[in-house]
Amino acid sequence: MSVLADKYREEYLPQLVEKFDYSNVMEAPMLKKVVVNVGIGEAKEDPKLLDQVVENIANITGQQPTITRSKRAIANFKIREGMPIGVKVTLRGEYMYEFIYKLINITYPRVRDFRGISPDAFDGRGNYSLGLDEHIVFPEIKIDDVDKVHGVQVTIVTSAETDEEAYELLSLMGMPFKK
């Protein structure tokens, strides 16, 4: 079991129950899933780029990603229906906790001029979205092998019903929010 999952059960869960005065331990918010997404519009010109991004995301998450395709044609962007436009992975269980632990403790300290993440990116239902401008901050990526740098979007889905509960859960886990 991962370090973060064990800490959640032993330390964070009792703190959440006490702070929000839950009558049952099962009411406390928990992580449901983490979705890692990369949009690559340039894949229409360079098919090799799609393969590189798939390989990068597989290395970062430890799970094979799926290719997302356009649902409709958009003439202004020169995109036809069914063209590959991105890559995504949904992490649950052990992979999810490992990814969050790595994001907090290894990846964020490698970001240049990092001052914390915004506490305003909650969606009103307890889910949090964040973006990284460069995928090369992940330790699995060898900078020498990178042809093109791309961004990574991460959505953390929780069972929290309010943003306050989700903020407390993520801050207990060590998420470096701006003060």
Q: Over its length of 179 residues, how does the chain's per-residue pLDDT go in tens digits? A: 577 788 888 888 888 888 888 888 888 899 999 999 998 877 666 778 888 888 989 999 999 999 888 777 777 766 777 777 889 999 999 999 999 999 998 888 888 888 888 889 899 888 999 998 888 888 888 887 777 888 899 999 999 999 999 999 999 988 899 87
pLDDT of residue 10: 83
**What was the pLDDT predicted at 1?**
56
Q: Is the dihedral of CA 159, 164, 168, 174 positive or negative?
A: positive
Q: With 0.85 as the threshold, say if the pTM is over it.
A: yes
Contact indicator for 28, 40 with CB cutoff of 8 Å: no
3-state SS, residue 22: coil
Phi-psi label, residue 44: left if phi above 0, alpha if psi -120 to 50, beta otherwise: alpha
Task: Find residue 74's DSSP bridge partners.
Answer: 79
Taking the domain 3-172, which CATH number applies?
A: 3.30.1440.10
128-132 and 84-91: which strand pairing?
Answer: unpaired
Which pLDDT belongs to residue 151?
A: 87
Beta-carbon contacts of 1 under 8 Å, excluding residues fewer than 6 positions away, are: 94
Residue 149's pLDDT is 83
**Residue 156 near residue 100 (C-beta atoms within 8 A):** yes
Residue 130 CA: distances (Å) to CA of 61, 90, 133, 170: 16, 15, 10, 13
Q: What angle do CA 46, 48, 54 make, to 5 degrees?
A: 120
Quick one: pLDDT at residue 44? 65
pLDDT value of residue 159: 93
**What is the pLDDT, as a whole number, of residue 39?**
86
- H/E segment holding residue 58: helix 47-61
Pick from 174, 83, 167: which is nearest to 126 by CA? 167
Could you tell me where the beta strands, DSSP code E, fall in 27-176? 31-39, 66-69, 84-91, 128-132, 152-158
Per-residue pLDDT, 111: 83
Tokens matching residue 173:
């886990």
- According to the model, what pLDDT value does residue 24 have? 86
User: Which ranges in 62-134 belong to alpha helices (H)?
Assistant: 93-102, 108-110
